[in-house]
Amino acid sequence: MNDSHTQGSKLSKEFIFFLGMLTAMAPFCMDMYFPSLPSLTGELQASAPMVQLTITTTMVGMAVGQLFFGPLSDTFGRKKPLIWGMALCAITSIICGMTSNISLLIVTRFFQGITASAGIVISKAIARDCVSGVTLTQVFALLMMVNGFAPIVAPLIGGQILIFSTWHTVFFLLALICIALTIRSITQKETLPKDKHISGGFGKTKHAFKVLCSNSYFLGNCLLGWFSFGAFFAYITGSSFLFQDIYGLSAQTYSYIFGGLALVTVFVSFLAKKGANVVATNTMLWISIAISVVGSILFFIAMYFSAPLWLSILLLVITTPTVAPIGAASFSLSMRVDPSMAGSASALLGFFSQASAGLMAPFVGIAGSHNPMPMAFIMIFGYVAALVCYVLFIHPKHRGPEDLEDLKRQARA
């Protein structure tokens, strides 16, 4: 293990940025591509649903890929799978940029999602290798902060590229980012010692998944992530319809509002990082969920009564940034597992969150682009369900710290 990144010590800013860039592979692969969607419809002579499918397949690939790369990093260490994942992501990005067929693009985007997931899942496992406790919560909050900038920067970069070039260049830029991360991964020292590697291949991986899912505390955090991130993604996918089709704003004005809300999320991530020193991680989690429940209920009521624009924005400012402290706190608590299982744990947590996002997207527009109620309902349902998961599975385990050792004892069995 790299001595400068040992447990309990402060991590360097460059190292945090590196991990943040790895976790930001999801928004980079998705959001940088968004401004290109209209041009793809004409250039590839594809229908809008076919173009949208290039986004869905990427998300599915990211969800499935985490189940592959997480356990792989527990078996062979973090470094090798990360290098291969980023290198293959660069190759798939180049193929995406070279294609002129919508069907091929859909397929290659799926594999791009799989390879990009290596950075998403392994970065969290690396963080667990290096720090724990309050420090781990702070690190996850910092990762959320870095990750929060990506949805702001990525569409702007993608839009600027289209001024002087085509959507093909977007994928070539993604390839360059992956190449840079591959080189940085090569220089990174291994954070999981060989004596902590899981041996036994796929059978041991199945055992790790079984152990994790049989623990109500860990599974409760997975379900909490499923519902809370699904609710947040309902906002992500529905916000353009809300502000442009319902409130009649221009695409440029919408981008300012979306970027502003993302900046608020970054600021809340900063507060979560600072708050980890004075507020227990468990307390941070339930307070954040409670705020999101209240905010989503008020937003649902506001949509039902056709509230003015300013009130809708205010309620979204209250509700959506909670994704940062919820994600940081829940990940920190659920990663209290044996270090050898950190990759598998990160994989399951990432799979639940990513899969819920993919499933929620089609339901947001089920009543048409001029009806905000499905979006509002999914948000309130998701956050209330997350609160139920917390009350049933997570809160009882914090009556005594000894309960949190269950995963470690089972992992050694």
CA 56 → CA 62, 213, 338, distances in Å?
10, 26, 33
What is the rounded CA–CA span in Å between residue 110 and residue 382?
Answer: 26
Q: Which of 281, 284, 331 is nearest to 128 (CA)?
A: 331
Q: Is the predicted pLDDT of residue 155 greater than 50, yes or no?
A: yes
Q: Please state, as a whole number, how many other Cβ atoms lie within 10 Å of the Cβ of residue 107.
A: 18
What is the rounded CA–CA span in Å between residue 355 and residue 295?
Answer: 24
For the chain, how big is the Rg over CA atoms in Å? Answer: 21
Q: Is the predicted pLDDT of residue 338 greater than 80, yes or no?
A: no
pLDDT in tens, 210-220: 888 888 899 99
Q: Which of 17-21, 150-154, 157-161 has the lowest mean pLDDT?
A: 150-154
Q: Which of the pair, 394 or 148, is modelled with greater confidence?
A: 394
Mean pLDDT within 70-85: 92
Q: Average per-residue pLDDT in the chain?
A: 84
Residues near 36 by Cβ (< 8 Å), separated by ≥ 6?
Answer: 158, 162, 167, 170
190 — alpha (psi -120 to 50), left (phi > 0) or beta?
beta
Q: Is the predicted pLDDT of residue 399 greater than 70, yes or no?
A: no
Tell me the CA end-to-end span of the chain in Å, nearest whole number: 25
Q: Let me know: does 117 contact 61? Beta carbons within 8 Å.
A: yes
Q: Is the predicted pLDDT of residue 12 greater than 50, yes or no?
A: yes
Q: Is the predicted pLDDT of residue 7 greater than 60, yes or no?
A: no
What is the rounded CA–CA span in Å between residue 148 and residue 264?
Answer: 9
Q: Which of the pair, 206 or 104, is modelled with greater confidence?
A: 104
Q: Which of 401, 264, 236 is nearest to 324 (CA)?
A: 264
**Scanning the structure block, which residue is given the tokens 């499918």?**
53
The dotted CATH code for 3-397 is 1.20.1250.20
Q: Torsions phi, psi of 90, nearest 5?
A: -65, -40
The pLDDT-based confidence of 118 (bands split at 50, 70, 90) is very high
What is the rounded CA–CA span in Å between residue 61 and residue 63?
Answer: 5
**Scanning the structure block, which residue is given the tokens 């991680």?**
281
What kind and span of H or E run contains 197? none
The pLDDT-based confidence of 56 (bands split at 50, 70, 90) is confident
- Secondary structure letter of residue 190 according to DSSP: P
What is the rounded CA–CA span in Å between residue 340 and residue 227?
Answer: 27
Amino acid occupying residue 228: S
Predicted TM-score (pTM) of this structure? 0.78
Mean pLDDT within 318-326: 93
What is the rounded CA–CA span in Å between residue 156 and residue 399?
Answer: 47
Burial class (CB in 10 A: 0-12, 13-18, 19+), 169: middle
pLDDT in tens, 166-190: 889 999 999 999 999 999 999 999 9
Mean pLDDT within 292-309: 96
How far is C-alpha 300 from the chain's CA centre? 25
What is the rounded CA–CA span in Å between residue 258 and residue 312?
Answer: 13
Sign of CA dihedral 193, 81, 174, 62: negative
Instruction: Name the 3-class secondary structure at 12.
Output: coil
- pLDDT exceeding 90 applies to what percent of the chain? 38
**Scanning the structure block, which residue is given the tokens 């956050």?**
383
Amino acid occupying residue 262: A
Structure tokens at 155: 């569409």
What is the rounded CA–CA span in Å between residue 240 and residue 246?
Answer: 9
Please report the pLDDT score of residue 165 as a whole number. 85
Q: Let me know: does 373 contact 241? Beta carbons within 8 Å.
A: no
Q: Which of 31-40, 52-61, 75-84, 98-107 has the lowest mean pLDDT?
A: 31-40
The b/e string for 300-320 (b: 16+ C-beta within 10 A; e otherwise) is bebbeeebeeeebbbbbebbb
The DSSP annotation for 230-273 comes to HHHHHHHHHHHIIIIIIS---HHHHHHHHHHHHHHHHHHHHHHH
Mean pLDDT within 157-167: 83
**Scanning the structure block, which residue is given the tokens 């660069």?**
90
Q: Where are the domains of the chain?
A: 3-397
What is the rounded CA–CA span in Å between residue 199 and residue 356?
Answer: 31
What is the rounded CA–CA span in Å between residue 321 and residue 325?
Answer: 8
